[in-house]
A and B are shown apart, each in its own frame.
Chain A
Amino acid sequence: MVEAFALTKCFSDFWALQGISLKVSPGEILALLGPNGAGKTTTIRILAAVLRPTSGRATVCGYDVLTDGPAVRSLVGVLTEFPGLYDRMSARSYLEFFGQLHRVPGPVLRRRVSELIDYFGLGEAVDRRLGTLSKGMRQKVALIRALIHDPKVLFLDEPTSAMDPAGARQVRDFIAGLRRSDRATIICTHNLAEAELLADRIAVIARGRIVADGKPGELKRLFAGPPVFELRFTGSPDAAREALDGRVRVVDLGPNYVRYQVDDPGRNPGLVERLVGAGVGVLSLAEVSPSLEDVYLRILGGEGTS
């Protein structure tokens, strides 16, 4: 549904993209992760036919972003990085205005505005001036703007950044539900938990290149390194360290726990035995699942922080 091949983008002498290739299928949600200035927004702008690539090509629902700009823009919904609302308009007239620009017929438009307003709980605010709404409400209005013409492809730049937990959850549920509607969705986010929760695939962008691409589990396996185990014990931490020293890589040691990395989990029984032999009382042993944040930082490897 969305395909990009070797996209580059140069602004004067600054290369924002240096060969981005990606593919998003119907019903799939791709999360673009990366530090500020990595090229996420530029990628979205090119895929939404707002910017032209310097080289490479991209299609959305079969339309070329370079030659079929208006067709592409009528098929995509874009939640921009900043909500950018007209403060003196009411939410209803604002959404109807964008619906008209997207050629949505009057009766359909009014019904759709009502449905989306109800879904996102903006019923009381619909006739208030946008300038008087809270940040979260404004973000929701901007999201509805992106959905107003029932687009086949959605590009969402930081969809929950300004929302309270309840609002963010509501939006996340909505995005997760998009899978069933066969829409292709690309989310740019700094919220790694959100990406892990929503995305079928994650692409990490750094300095205009995709440096990692895969399912969250795959990325963890690929980039988190050997599994980490946490052993809880009673007794002296020094005795525990002495027992493990040289056999495994200790990554953390507390007063009653030790975390270590071991290539082969089959070595754990032997390690437990050795600890017990050293007078350390073993209480529990469990694998610690690596967080996406760990994986992300490892992938970027000092490229920058978000």
Chain B
Amino acid sequence: MTSLQGPLVLARREVRDALTDWRISLPMGLLTAIFPLLVAFGAAWALRVLERLEGPEIGARVLPFGLMVSAFVPISFSLVLALESFAGEKDRNTLEALLTTPLSDAQLFLGKMAAVLLPPVGLSLAAMTTFTLAVKLTTGRNIPAGTLVLVGLLSVVEAVVMVAAAVVISTHTPSVRTANILASFIILPMAALLQVKSVLFLLGQTQLLWLLAAGLGGVAVILVRTGVRVFNREEVIAREYRSLSIRQIARTFWAFVESPPTDPIPAGVDRLPFPVRLYVYDLPQLVRLNRTPILVVAGLFMAGLMLGYLLGSQSPHGINWLRVRTALEAGIPAGPVELSFGGILLHNLRAIAITAILSIFSFGAAALLLLMAPFVVTGFIAGQLAAGGEDPLLFLAAFILPHGVLEIPAAVLAGAFCLRLGLAIMAPPGGYTVGQSLLLSIANLCKVGLLLVPLFMAAAYLEANLTPQVIRWVYLGGP
């Protein structure tokens, strides 16, 4: 049997099973047939009104938007089909028979993935065709080929993202019911994505939509890779034996906190009291073991700074440095963040906590993007100053360096360990379940937190007390 024959047999059965069940196929068919027609008629009406009120450019954006909405509705079925195919089979005890066949885990995954993707993608293409023909008949207009490709691509990658995410959820849940509840983690981001897409289509931001499709493609690859990793016989069956025990989770977590990052530990270290060992052995080891994510995060922060600088130096709206200098002379005003030790520390710790939580659900992307944002902003300001003839390095030395000496390494460290949280789900270390891998990463972040908190405290103290003095000294010539 070739490597694709087994998955094809599997996919054929599941597609036939879904399409011959009228409870599934009837609503799917009706929605695919009727909804694009309704959207097309609505779009044709909106086109006439908008062209009269706003001109032809605005009106033309309604059609791609309508096409996108028509294509998305059938794609949304993929989530239900995926939960049924993965969690549902487990629920109905039909999965184990499949696990006893010679198919590899990857072949099983591939077959099931194809089975739940083919009907929605096929229906989505059908809906796009219906919409395009209806628009042609009602308005006489053609939808550009580029728009058709873009919407088709967006629909396919969205379906892959939803299905792969559903596999990850299904593997970690004991029943369809639980999987349906956890599917909110897919539905809510997809709903937000739909809104973003709608805005971009209505604003005519085609380039951003292509970028969005590329980004979603990246997310799809990551999720499929995660799906392949977690959908294996061992994980699926072992879950039967696991129950959600808070006590067990707490015990495992504490074991990870207590155990050193490497085993065996050097002679003498094992005799040190735990808090001492943590600082003299565990933390340096953790930093050493995570040097790759640390370097990646540091590199991205630097890239963010440079990107911001480039954008700032090219922006036509320069900073009015005269106003800034006047404001400095009047005293540094309280901005959105109170420039006190407590306010700065709370802000930084809150940002790290939010980043950590979002990293788990974004597979580490939040760690990179959220913590990179201040660097982009700083670079942007430096670029603006450079464009206005001011010295950007002096700005960085005065505004950032005094507290940045501590705050930047702390942010890099925090970013790296938040990135690890995301990777824990995507690529658990050998011999670890996804849950254990996540607990290990949280434990490591907590350990590193014992280094981060003092660093952020010292940085906040410097930012509240030393940095303003330096700024005044540099720009006003005295305190």
Contacts and interface: CB of A to CB of B under 8 A. Distances in A.
Interface string A82-99: 111110110000000110
Interface string A74-86: 1010101111111
Contacts of A206: none
Contacts of A50: 96, 99-100, 233, 237
Contacts of A82: 93, 96
A102 B94 contact: no
Interface stretch (A8-16, A118-126, A178-186): A8-16
Interface residues of A, number: 34
A80 B102 contact: no
B101 interface: yes
B350 interface: no
B149 interface: no
Contacts, number: 76
Name, among B97, B233, B238, B241, the residue most crowded by chain A CB atoms within 10 Å (CB to CB). Answer: B97
Interface string B212-254: 0000000000000000000001100110011000001000100
A81 B6 CA distance: 24
Contact of B248 (A12, A85, A103): A12
Nearest to B13: A97
B241 A101 contact: no
B94 A84 contact: yes
A51 B100 contact: no
Majority secondary structure, B binding face: helix
Contacts of A88: 17, 20-21
A88 B84 CA distance: 14
A145 B93 CA distance: 15
B267 interface: no
Contact of A12 (B93, B102, B242): B242
A51 B234 contact: yes
A73 B248 contact: no
A52 interface: yes
Contacts of A71: 102
B234 A52 contact: yes
Contacts of A45: 237
A152 to B, nearest CB: 13
A82 B102 CA distance: 20
B237 A145 contact: no
A16 B234 CA distance: 14
Nearest to A75: B102
B287 to A, nearest CB: 30
Contact of A101 (B10, B96, B238): B10
B102 A98 contact: no
A78 B252 CA distance: 35
A74 B1 CA distance: 12
A78 B233 CA distance: 15
Interface of A: 11-14, 16, 45, 48, 50-52, 69-71, 73-74, 76, 78, 80-86, 88-89, 97-98, 100-103, 142, 145
Given A70-B102, A82-B93, A84-B96, 15 more contacts: A11-B238, A12-B241, A12-B252, A48-B100, A51-B233, A51-B234, A51-B237, A71-B102, A73-B100, A74-B102, A80-B97, A98-B97, A101-B6, A101-B98, A103-B102
